[in-house]
Structure formats: structure tokens, C-alpha cells
Amino acid sequence: MKRWRHFTVAVGIMPALGLYIGVMLWLSSFIVEIHFLIDLIFFVVAGLAWIPAAGAVVRWLAAHEAE
């Protein structure tokens, strides 16, 4: 049974996302209030930057489930 992959993803994704949010909040403390457009670009990029990493995890899980 290969259910350990599901468990690994379920347990690992929340702390990883929490760490990512913490790092982005820390970085935002250096960037906010410089200029409105810089703030907007930073938060859009930071808000979307985690998606490729999550997609890679989902692809890994899907590829191993197909075996």
C-alpha cells in the first residue's frame, strides 16, 4: 500500500506553506510603503509563487499513483 505518499503530502504541505507565508511576511516588512505599485507587484508575485512548488508536489503524487 502506497498511502504513505498521501500522508507525507498532507502532513508536509501545511508547515511548508506556513514557513513560506512567514518568509514572505518577513520580506514584505522591507518592501511595504515604498510605493503602491511595488507593494502590489510584490504581493501578487508572493501570492502566486507557491503554486509551481505545490504543482510539483501534486505531479509527484499523481505520477506515483499511476504506477
Mind giving me the DSSP string for the chain?
--THHHHHHHHHHHHHHHHHHHHHHHHHHHHTTS-HHHHHHHHHHHHHTHHHHHHHHHHHHHHHH--
**What's the pLDDT at 20?**
94
**What's the pLDDT at 9?**
83
Q: Which domain holds residue 36?
A: 4-65
**What's the pLDDT at 48?**
94
Total number of domains constituting the chain:
1
**What's the pLDDT at 6?**
81
User: What's the predicted TM-score (pTM) here?
Assistant: 0.75
Residue ranges for the chain with pLDDT beneath 50: none
